[in-house]
């Protein structure tokens, strides 16, 4: 049977809702309205949530009120401990529109609704108007929250050490009132009028001369106190240091008594100085106004410089520059002595460098002329001199580790060369052919040696030596026919010259070649085969594939 239908008296059906269904719907609506009326919850609303971290929330519970200036502006939605093991508690609150906006410098306190103990609520101070607004879901840190002091905490404060300090204070205060102390106190009363008047002027000056002067001061102090509260160890050290300072003053009681009368004269002389300072305050205020932008930019500057300061602190640590400085402390005297003795060394180094730049380097780069040989390329001295080491290395050999052996090329011939040694002795040598000349020619006298003249001022050595006639030679004239072997050697001599020139030319061009003084006969044929060379019909070296 359809739900929305009913038969009329005339037999016709008319549409409508059955009474049972309508009653059930009405009961559900009444129950829902009653629930929302008692719980004051709106399922269609999206409340503003604010989180705050407390060190202690006492017995703050869900649905505890949140108030601003005694007016309810929300409720506590959740109280839960943090998961990091710090013991802090996160309180989630739902704030109505009447409690908004809430600033980033807002402060929250858990307060009791009854005297001493009882239910609790969260008191919110929304913050200063110039601060930024907190977004939905933001969290207020624990340095901006506080919890009420319990009676048990008050009792635990009066420990033995605190009670001892309190007794000491009362005993010292009673000692101060003994004898002339009370009379001095009465004598000081007549100065209170001026003191109160001056204090009122100071208090009036602290309010500032422009709107929000005091607000800015309180805001800056809040930042300072907030920074101090973050470092509890430093605060403990500060209190301990103040305690030591006050104890030191207490030990110097007699000196303090002698100094107090002098303060009267200080104040008497100080009043004109303060009057001058008061006249200078307008200039200082103008300077303060001009310096305000720079002071405001100091905080970002400090924030940017803090990483650099941290790096510097690590740099000067004991494992870095601190340890290095300790090690250098013993080396600095030696370095100082070295500096005092270094100028003479530097003078010699300068002379050596100047000699090298002015004389030695130009000499080393100067080409060596050799007009007697056509194939000479005129290379500089620093390239030619290195080739002499090859000859020196080939001159000596170690045989069986007993002693060095020297190799020399012995030659002979019909020409006898006679020369005079350094000691005037006569030296003889045999050559195959007569000498055509010598270069350089023997000078008539030894060149001058000038050790008194600095090297940098001397002339660059000139290797373009002049030639001259050879020394004394004798060549015997053959009177008899040469033997057959000698005639063959005379006939083969032009070919030997040609092979020498060929060896020099191929070596200069970087082509493989054979030294005719080292290889001949079977050894020459074996080396030609190894180098893939052969001699053509005219005796010239060619590639084997070209010759075939």
DSSP state of 275: H
275 inside domain = yes
344 inside domain = no
Number of domains in the chain: 5
pLDDT tens by residue, 11-42: 444 455 677 777 777 777 777 667 656 655 55
Same domain, yes or no: 71 and 126: yes
d(CA 402, CA 14): 140
Same domain, yes or no: 196 and 263: yes
- Which DSSP string do the residues of 421-485 spell out, in sequence order? -TTS-EEEEEESS----BSSPPPSSPPP--TTS-GGGSPPP---PPPB---EEE-PPP-SPPPHH
User: Residue 91: what pLDDT?
Assistant: 93
Same domain, yes or no: 164 and 204: yes
Please say which residue of 264, 291, 318 terminates a domain: 291
88 inside domain = yes
Measured in degrees and rounded to the nearest 5, phi and psi for residue 515 equal: -80, 115
What is the widest separation between alpha-carbon atoms in the chain? 180
Q: From the centroid of its chain, how far is CA 318?
A: 17
Please say which residue of 127, 154, 181 terminates a domain: 154
Please say which residue of 250, 272, 291 terminates a domain: 291
Same domain, yes or no: 129 and 233: no
Q: What is the pTM of this model?
A: 0.29
Same domain, yes or no: 134 and 241: no
Measured in degrees and rounded to the nearest 5, phi and psi for residue 463 equal: -90, 0
Helix (H) / strand (E) element for 87: namely none
Give Cα separations from 414 to 138, 150, 470, 493 (angstroms). 116, 131, 16, 14
Same domain, yes or no: 138 and 248: no
E-strand spans in 69-222? Answer: 71-81, 89-95, 107-112, 120-125, 139-140, 145-146
pLDDT tens by residue, 208-242: 777 777 778 888 888 887 777 777 777 777 788 88
Same domain, yes or no: 178 and 282: yes
Same domain, yes or no: 134 and 21: no
User: Residue 1: what pLDDT?
Assistant: 38
Arithmetic mean of pLDDT over the chain: 78
The three-state secondary structure class of 131 is coil
User: What is the edge-to-edge ordering of all strands in the sheet holding 415-420?
Assistant: 426-431, 415-420, 472-474
Kindly indicate the confidence band of residue 3, based on its pLDDT and cuts at 50, 70 and 90. very low
The three-state secondary structure class of 160 is helix
315 inside domain = no
Proportion of the chain in helix, strand, coil states, percent, rounded to 5: 50, 15, 35
Q: Helices 298-315 & 253-296, crossing angle to 10 degrees? A: 110
Same domain, yes or no: 54 and 90: yes
User: Considering Cα of 273, then 276, then 280, then 285, what sign does the dihedral take?
Assistant: positive
Instruction: Tell me which residue range forms the domain holding 514.
Output: 485-548
325 inside domain = no
439 inside domain = yes
223 inside domain = yes
Rounded mean pLDDT, 167-186: 76
User: Residue 448: what pLDDT?
Assistant: 78
d(CA 207, CA 217): 9
User: Residue 408: what pLDDT?
Assistant: 59
329 inside domain = no
Of 486 and 9, more confident: 486
pLDDT tens by residue, 122-134: 999 999 888 899 9
Q: Considering only 73-77, 376-380, 383-387, which range has the smallest mean pLDDT? A: 376-380
Judge contact between 417 and 473, C-beta under 8 A.
yes
Kindly indicate the confidence band of residue 405, based on its pLDDT and cuts at 50, 70 and 90. low
User: Residue 229: what pLDDT?
Assistant: 74
Extract the tokens encoding 483: 């033997």
Same domain, yes or no: 166 and 261: yes
pLDDT tens by residue, 445-500: 877 788 888 888 888 888 788 888 887 777 665 555 555 655 666 677 788 888 88
Same domain, yes or no: 178 and 246: yes
Tally of CA atoms within 13 A in the half-sphere of 148 that contains its CB: 20
Same domain, yes or no: 166 and 280: yes
């Amino acid at each position: 049977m359809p739900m929305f239908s009913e038969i009329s008296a005339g037999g016709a059906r008319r549409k409508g809702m059955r009474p049972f269904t309508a009653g059930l719907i009405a009961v559900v609506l009444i129950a829902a309205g009653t629930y929302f009326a008692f719980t004051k919850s709106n399922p269609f609303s999206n409340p503003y949530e604010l989180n705050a971290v407390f060190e202690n929330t006492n017995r703050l519970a869900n649905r505890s009120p949140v108030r601003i200036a005694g007016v309810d502006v929300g409720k506590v939605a959740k109280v839960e401990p943090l998961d990091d093991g710090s013991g802090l508690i996160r309180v989630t609150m739902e704030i109505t529109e009447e409690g908004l906006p809430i600033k980033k410098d807002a402060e929250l306190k858990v307060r009791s609704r009854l005297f001493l103990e009882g239910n609790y609520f969260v008191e919110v101070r929304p913050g200063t108007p110039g601060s930024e607004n907190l977004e939905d879901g933001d969290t207020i840190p624990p340095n901006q929250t506080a919890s009420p002091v319990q009676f048990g905490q008050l009792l635990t404060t009066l420990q033995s050490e605190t009670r001892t300090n309190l007794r000491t204070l009362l005993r010292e205060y009673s000692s101060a009132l003994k004898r002339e102390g009370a009379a001095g106190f009465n004598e000081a009363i007549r100065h209170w009028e001026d003191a109160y008047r001056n204090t009122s002027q100071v208090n009036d000056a602290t309010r500032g001369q422009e709107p929000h002067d005091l607000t800015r001061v309180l805001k800056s102090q809040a930042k300072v106190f907030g920074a101090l509260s973050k470092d509890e160890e430093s605060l403990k050290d500060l209190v301990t240091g103040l305690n030591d300072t006050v104890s030191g003053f207490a030990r110097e009681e007699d000196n303090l008594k002698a100094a107090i009368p002098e303060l009267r004269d200080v104040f008497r002389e100080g009043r004109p100085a303060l009057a001058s300072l008061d006249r200078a305050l307008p200039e200082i205020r103008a300077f303060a106004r001009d310096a305000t932008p720079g002071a405001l930019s100091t905080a970002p500057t400090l924030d940017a410089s803090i990483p650099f300061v941290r790096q510097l602190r690590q740099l000067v640590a004991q494992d870095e520059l601190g340890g290095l400085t300790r090690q250098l402390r013993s080396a600095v005297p030696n370095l100082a002595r070295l500096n005092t003795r270094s100028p003479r060394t530097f003078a010699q180094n300068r002379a050596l460098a100047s000699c090298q730049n002015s004389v030695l380097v130009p000499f080393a780069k100067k080409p060596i002329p050799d007009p007697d040989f056509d194939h000479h390329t005129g290379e500089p001295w620093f390239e030619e001199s290195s080739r002499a080491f090859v000859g020196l290395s080939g001159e000596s050999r170690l045989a069986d580790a007993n002693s060095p052996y020297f190799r020399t090329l012995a030659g002979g011939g019909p020409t006898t060369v006679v020369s005079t040694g350094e000691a005037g002795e006569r030296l003889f040598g045999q050559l195959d052919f007569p000498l055509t000349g010598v270069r350089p020619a023997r000078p008539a006298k030894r060149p001058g040696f000038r050790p008194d003249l600095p090297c940098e001022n001397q002339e660059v050595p000139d290797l373009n030596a002049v030639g001259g006639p050879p020394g004394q030679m004798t060549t015997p004239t053959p009177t008899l026919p040469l033997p057959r072997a000698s005639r063959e050697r005379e006939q083969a001599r032009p070919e030997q010259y040609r092979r020498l020139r060929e060896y020099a030319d191929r070596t200069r061009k970087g082509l493989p070649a054979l030294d005719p003084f080292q290889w001949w006969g079977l050894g020459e044929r074996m080396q030609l085969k190894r180098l893939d060379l052969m001699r053509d019909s005219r005796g010239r070296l060619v590639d084997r594939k070209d010759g075939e």
